[in-house]
Copies of this chain bind each other. A is one copy, B any other.
Amino acid sequence: MEQELVIGIDIGGTKIDVGVIDTSGKILERMRIWTNVHEGLNVIVQNIYDAIEKITNGLKTSICGIGIGAPGQVDVKNGIVLFAPNLRWKDVELKKIIHEKYRLPVEIENDANCGALAEARLGAGSGSNNLIWITIGTGIGGGIIIDGNLIQGAGFAGGEIGHMTMKKNGPVCGCGNKGCLEALAAGPAIIHQIRKAINSGTQTVILKMIDNDLNKITVGIASNAADTGDSLSLKVLNRAGEYLGIGVANLDNILNPEVIILGGGVMEAAGHRLLKIIKNTVQNRALSVAKNNLRIELSKLGNDAGLIGASLLIQRSVDQSNKGHQ
């Protein structure tokens, strides 16, 4: 196949990344737009069209397909976003809409699954057919690849790693359950614990770093404070890292993958510190046979994993057609 270009679209609740990407995963052109969820589907789609127009303007190579990563439950076969609470979308036939506009092959997949695909092909999991991608940011999501295939699940809800219960009567999670990994170790949980401790009078160097404005606390600031030996930051990050490590150990015992890759905003802000705690926890808790076959890695593609993974959907679709599976 000669060098062809794909449009990748990574739709998030806050922003949408649109890019022109070659088959090696290199992003040649890119644009970021705000999602503006409240403006509704039609406006969002029109904004995507405008972005595509701008980044393909003057392009000499033809576009051979459009790959889209969307949050929530995505019916991959029929190209429908079944349910995406943070977009307020339900049963949106996105594949059909985009296909009717451009008359090109269009593929849609859950955004965390796109991340897993990208890391498996071109990132920290390159060469592996059995890996788990975990993204730790505002929430905790995941994509699982077994024997080279993404686990979609019976209701396209596979990979909801963040909603593993880790503590029976732990803090309430956004999903309604108590003690989910997400409620214990995602960004907001880390920030909440620091704020709570400060409100209870705990001394910390963070206060100086945020000019006493508690709204300015970030995981990055906590990480910097921990680097100076700040005991509150160390305690909170150690606790989050331990819960993340338990989550990784559980997944290792259940699925025995070759690689578990950690990405997302929290890992970008405090990755090296957390990675160490996570690795120690897995060493202490996972079964020997499971942990001896496991590599734990930080994401190589970072924020671009979703966008690059979306573009790979077109390649995957071509592969499947060649195999006669579609």
Binary interface profile of A, 132-169, with partner B (CB < 8 Å = 1, else 0)?
Answer: 00000000001010110101111111111101111110
Contacts of A142 in B (CB 8 A): 254
Contact present for A254 and B164 (CB under 8 Å) = yes
Residues on B with beta carbons closer than 8 Å to the beta carbon of A250: 164-165, 250
Contacts of A28 in B (CB 8 A): none
Report how far A73 CA is from B292 CA in the complex, Å: 13
Question: Contact between A158 and B293 (Cβ–Cβ < 8 Å)?
Answer: no
**A254 in contact with B287 given A147-B149, A167-B168 (CB within 8 Å):** no
Expressed in whole angstroms, the Cα–Cα distance for A287 and B243 within the complex equals 20
A1 at the interface (CB under 8 A from B): no
Rounded to whole Å, the gap between the CB of A12 and the closest CB of chain B is 19
Interface string of A2-36 (1 = CB under 8 A from B): 00000000000000000000000000000000000
B293 x A154 contact (CB < 8 A)? yes
Choose one: B158, B178, B242, B285; the contact of A256 (CB below 8 Å).
B158
B interface footprint on A165-209 (CB within 8 Å = 1, 0 otherwise): 111100000010110000000000000000000000000000000
Copies in the complex: 2
Interface size class of A (residues with CB under 8 A): 35 or more
A124 at the A/B interface (Cβ < 8 Å)?
no
B254 in contact with A293 (CB, 8 Å): no
Chain A 233-250 interface residues, beta-carbon cutoff 8 Å to B: 242-243, 246, 249-250
**A130-B153, A249-B165 known; A160-B258 Cβ under 8 A:** no
A214 contacts B by Cβ under 8 Å? no
- Inter-subunit contact A161/B254 (CB<8 Å): yes
Contact, CB under 8 Å: A154 / B257: yes
A292 contacts B155, C-beta separation under 8 Å: yes
Closest-by-CB residue of B relative to A153 is: B256
Q: Which of B154, B161, B165 contacts A246 (CB 8 A)?
A: B165
In angstroms, Cα B167 to Cα A253, docked, is: 16
Interface check A89, CB cutoff 8 A: no
Contact with B along A276-289 (1 / 0, CB 8 A): 00000000111101
Indicate if the CB atoms of A255 and B165 lie closer than 8 Å: no
Residue of B whose beta carbon sits closest to that of A257: B154
On whether the beta carbons of B290 and A155 are closer than 8 Å, the reply is yes
The answer, yes or no, to whether A269 is at the interface (CB within 8 Å) is no
